[in-house]
């Protein structure tokens, strides 16, 4: 069964970027520390990354994050989604308007301008088709940014939430949660490694 999973790295004080993020400084000042685990040689970090990317049928991201990863200092063969792990999934971007051009033309981009629920519906359809073709269950992964995942959680669009809790206090930046309804999640797994703590919750 295809699930919708929010998956993001976060600091101990709840930020998904450091201060002053922007197109040329996507993770903000000091934010690179959030993703140390993704480049780690720790076998548990490698397993978490490999398993997550292998189950990614479609990946959703917001427009700000798209502008970062598609920008001149964004993704390449070394740093793209699950680089070196699996084939490239389809990507769905939530945006108010389509970009005039796309740098990463080798990736499968779909731009949804009618809101996050429609983006999730589109991504689920793509993931289910990919699942049928692959003969295995593949998921929809919301990789961020923080506003996209926080909005999806508040709207009841997530089946699970995976946080990669980095041992860093950033002091400021882009918060993952900015309010909303009180909610209790169900802890499903905790994997501590030498660089981070991977925690997955089911969202009732």
Task: Count up the domains in the chain and report the number.
Answer: 1
pTM for the complete prediction? Answer: 0.91
DSSP state of 22: B
With CA atoms as reference, report the closest residue to 166 among 63, 61, 27: 27
In this prediction, residue 178 carries a pLDDT of: 86
Do the bridges between strand 109-112 and strand 90-94 make them parallel or antiparallel, or are there none, so unpaired? parallel
137 three-class SS: coil
24 three-class SS: coil
* Rg (the chain; Cα; Å): 16
User: What is the domain extent for residue 172?
Assistant: 4-202
Instruction: Give residue-wise pLDDT tens across range 6-23.
Output: 999 999 999 999 998 877
In this prediction, residue 23 carries a pLDDT of: 76
- Answer whether 34's CB lies under 8 Å from 116's CB: no
Read off the CATH number of the domain in which 15 is found.
3.40.430.10
What is the mean pLDDT, run by run of 10 residues, along the chain of 204 residues?
Answer: 96 95 84 94 95 93 92 82 69 96 93 97 97 94 92 96 98 90 94 98 97
Q: What are phi and psi of 189, to 5 degrees?
A: -155, 150
Q: How far apart are CA 93 and CA 111, in angstroms?
A: 5
Q: Which residues pair with 91 in a beta bridge?
A: 59, 109
């Amino acid at each position: 069964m295809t699930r919708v999973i929010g998956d993001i790295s976060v600091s101990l004080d709840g930020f998904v970027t450091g201060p002053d993020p922007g197109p040329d400084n996507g993770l903000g000042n000091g934010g690179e520390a959030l993703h140390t685990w993704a480049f780690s040689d720790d076998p548990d970090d490698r397993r978490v990354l490999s398993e997550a990317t292998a189950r990614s049928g479609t990946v959703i991201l917001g427009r700000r994050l798209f502008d970062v990863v598609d920008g001149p200092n964004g993704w390449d063969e070394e740093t793209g989604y699950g680089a070196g792990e699996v084939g490239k999934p389809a990507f769905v971007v939530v945006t108010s308007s389509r970009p005039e051009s796309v740098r990463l033309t080798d990736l499968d981009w779909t731009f949804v301008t009618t809101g996050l629920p429609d983006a999730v519906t589109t991504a689920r359809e793509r993931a289910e088709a990919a699942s049928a073709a692959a003969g295995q269950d593949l998921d929809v992964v919301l990789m961020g940014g923080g506003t996209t995942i926080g909005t999806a959680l508040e709207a009841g669009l997530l089946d699970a939430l995976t946080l990669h809790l980095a041992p860093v206090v950033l002091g400021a930046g882009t918060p993952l949660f900015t309010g909303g309804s009180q909610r209790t999640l169900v802890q499903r797994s905790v994997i501590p490694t030498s660089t981070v703590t991977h925690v997955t919750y089911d969202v009732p």
